[in-house]
Amino acid sequence: MTIRQTTLAAAFALAAIGPAQAEGLKPLQGQVIDLGDVSGVAYYTIERDGFRVVATLAKKVEDAVPVRVVAVLAPGQALTLSTPREWGTPADAVDFIRRADTVLVRKAPAARADTVLARKAAAAVTN
């Protein structure tokens, strides 16, 4: 079984555990992530230091090498995953937000993604 097949199998298995609920994910509940040309699955576990969010992503092409992102979130912290797009087009992005004992997953607001890109571009021009 190739890495891509293994990643896709894991994504479908975790997604089958249960769809994301409006109030947020439950521990070990899979959430499918779609970032345009990149997709994958994310879940979290409860650890001593916080909620450990694990996202495995791969480009939607044959034999793409997956990337795993791991972050431990304390209450009030957030993690944003995004894929850039052409200039002037908002990035495809998703936020993982820890609120008390819940992890919320939502599509990141386009305006915020544009603001981040504009600031980076302006900083590059002035340097």
* Res. 35: pLDDT tops 60: yes
Report the phi/psi class of residue 54: left, alpha or beta, with left for phi > 0 and alpha for psi in -120 to 50. beta
More confident residue, 111 or 123: 123
More confident residue, 6 or 72: 72
**Averaged pLDDT score across all residues of the chain:** 78
Q: Furthest-apart CA pair in the chain: how many Å? A: 49
Provide the residue type at 110 as one letter.
A
pTM value surpassing 0.75? no
Q: What is the DSSP letter of 24?
A: B
